[in-house]
Amino acid sequence: MMKSTEIFSARESKEMEDILSRYEASASAILPLLHYVQSIQGHLSEEALTFVAEFIGVPHVRTFEVATYYTMLFTEPVGRHLVQVCRNLSCHVNGAENVLEALKKELGVDVGKTSDDGLFTLVEVECIGACDHAPAVMIDEDLHRKVSEDSVNRILGSYREKV
- Footprint on this chain of another protein (rule: CB under 8 A): 46, 49-50, 59-62, 64-65, 68-71, 75
CB of 96 to another protein, least distance (A): 20
Question: What CA–CA distance (Å, rounded) separates 84 from 104?
Answer: 12
Q: In 80-126, where do the E strands start and end?
A: 81-86, 120-125
Pick between residue 53 and residue 82 the one whose CB is nearest to another protein.
Answer: 53
Indicate the residue among 61 and 89 with the shorter CB distance to another protein.
61
Could you tell me the smallest distance in angstroms from the CB atom of residue 60 to another protein? Answer: 4
Please tell me the distance from the alpha carbon of residue 99 to that of residue 155, in angstroms, as a whole number. 12
Contact indicator for 31, 66 with CB cutoff of 8 Å? yes
The answer to whether 152 touches 104, Cβ cutoff 8 Å, is: no
Nearer to another protein among residue 28 and residue 148 (C-beta)? 28
Toward another protein, which CB reaches closer, 60 or 146?
A: 60
* Among 84, 44, 87, 96, residue whose Cα is nearest residue 68: 44
* CB-CB contact of 103 with 110 (8 Å): no
Question: What does DSSP say about strands 120-125 and 137-139: parallel, antiparallel, or unpaired?
Answer: unpaired
Q: Nearest Cα to 152, choosing from 92, 88, 85, 78? A: 85
Q: Shortest Cβ distance from residue 53 to another protein (Å)?
A: 8
Q: How far is the CB of 59 from another protein (least distance, A)?
A: 4
For the bound state, the minimum distance from the C-beta of residue 64 to another protein, rounded and expressed in Å, comes to 5
Q: Which is nearer to another protein, 124 or 149 (CB)?
A: 124
